[in-house]
Amino acid sequence: MLLYLMLAGFACLAGVTTVLFGFGGGFVVVPLLYRTLIAHYGTDSAIGGVAMHIAVATSTCVMIVTAVLATRRHARKGNILWPQVWPLAGYIGIGAVVGAAAATLANGEFVRWAFVVYLGVSILDCVARKGFMAQADDKTPQAPGVFITAIAGVVIGVIATFLGVGGSVMTVPMMRRRGLDMTRATAMANPLTVPVALAGTATYMLMAWHQPVPLSAWHVGYVDLAAFAVLTCGSLIGVQAATPMIGRIPDRLHAQIYVALLSLVLISMAI
């Protein structure tokens, strides 16, 4: 019971970060669930041996609910530019299937360190390159070209589903450098997470035959249904609580908090 109460509490935080920063399902749930499974079952157990796979798959499943709900909240406030969402979403869905299939074949420890490296590179990119931490006041939002959209979409889908992070760490900086403020850039990450979550979850479930050992009856493929239920309920509370704060965080501060939160997740997964 204590285990599930802890999951629910942290899931509320995931719901808040989903609405305000475009991430949460992956960057909060993956480290949390991974550490929880290892602590509860041990590294030598059947579940402990595939803890990272379970964390990534379950996180991807939770993102279906949280991303859809957060998308609705931002859409009502007019923060989503749908003409830029639709072309990119299709390519992301294609990449998501490839990324999820690759993750089920990879070693769990490799996936964990790939998660750490990916976060580190993303943080450095946000801090070192111009256009993320601050923007010129007169910068006009620009839509990416067809070729860039296709390449970027597939790459985002592959990496996002392989690591279970939803792709926001790539879509938010990309939209930011296209001239969007942080409120809109993070809002756009939510509908772009939906194809990742749907394609990824389906693939993780269908690839169940590859599991080296059978898991409990509460698992469908690598998705932990009990953890999914608890995490989803907690996330929905967080989404509801954070909705009144949409658009109220100053732009520069919004970007700084975004990078700071990514740094905390990086530390939690590296130690």
Please write the tens of the pLDDT for every residue from 30-59: 888 888 888 888 888 878 888 888 888 888
Mean pLDDT of 90-109: 83
- What is the pLDDT, as a whole number, of residue 256? 92
- What is the pLDDT, as a whole number, of residue 1? 61
Above 70 in pLDDT, residue 143? no
Above 80 in pLDDT, residue 123? yes
Mean pLDDT of 110-116: 80
Band the pLDDT of 141: cuts 50, 70, 90: low
Band the pLDDT of 200: cuts 50, 70, 90: confident
In the predicted model, what is the mean pLDDT of the chain?
A: 83
Q: Which DSSP string do the residues of the chain spell out, in sequence order?
A: -HHHHHHHHHHHHHHHHHHHHS--TTTTHHHHHHHHHHHHH-TTSHHHHTHHHHHHHHHHHHHHHHHHHHHHHHHHTT---HHHHHHHHHHHHHHHHHHHHHHHHS-HHHHHHHHHHHHHHHHHHHHHSTTSS---TTPPP-PPPHHHHHHHHHHHHHHHHHHTSTTHHHHHHHHHHTT--HHHHHHHHHHHHHHHHHHHHHHHHHGGGG-SS---TTEETTEEHHHHHHHHHHHHHHHHHHGGGTT-S-HHHHHHHHHHHHHHHHHHHH-
Please write the tens of the pLDDT for every residue from 53-85: 888 888 888 888 888 988 999 999 999 988 888
Q: Which residue has the higher pLDDT, 171 or 211?
A: 171
Domain boundaries, the chain: 2-270
Please write the tens of the pLDDT for every residue from 201-240: 888 787 766 666 667 778 888 888 988 999 999 989 999 9
